[in-house]
Amino acid sequence: MTDIRLISKRNRQIKPLVEAALANELRLLETGIRQTEERLQEFEKKYQMLTQDFISRYENDEFEETMTMDFVEWIGESRLLKCLREKAGAIRDIQFTN
């Protein structure tokens, strides 16, 4: 667990500002997650393969000779989704104390 303490030089409550900023960031991340999931579904439909199966085959070098720009984008979208989910999870796990 990591604790953080914020001190403001102004005579204003900063907790609501931080909560609002985190809520906004979470909304942006969730939008990014939805868009990325939609893009992955497009690849899955186009190539008739689940993303996890594609990544597994890629990691086993099954596409070495046939690597296309679509495949590069698919890999990138998959990695992006993982990153977005991790960031969203980190924000969801934040608890405020008084």
Q: Name the residue range of residue 34's domain.
A: 15-92
The predicted pLDDT at position 13 comes to: 86
- Report yes or no on 8 lying in a domain: no
- Report yes or no on 82 lying in a domain: yes
One pLDDT digit (tens) per residue for the chain, 98 residues: 788 888 888 887 888 999 999 999 999 999 999 999 999 999 999 999 999 999 999 999 988 778 889 999 999 999 999 999 999 999 999 998 87
Extract the tokens encoding 61.
Answer: 């070098």
Q: Minimal CA–CA distance to 34: which of 91, 92, 96, 84?
A: 84
Q: Is-contact 66 22, C-beta < 8 A?
A: no
pTM: 0.85
Q: What share of the chain is helix, strand, coil (3-state, %, to 5)?
A: 65, 0, 35
- Report yes or no on 1 lying in a domain: no
The predicted pLDDT at position 47 comes to: 95
Extract the tokens encoding 43.
Answer: 């690849």
- Report yes or no on 23 lying in a domain: yes
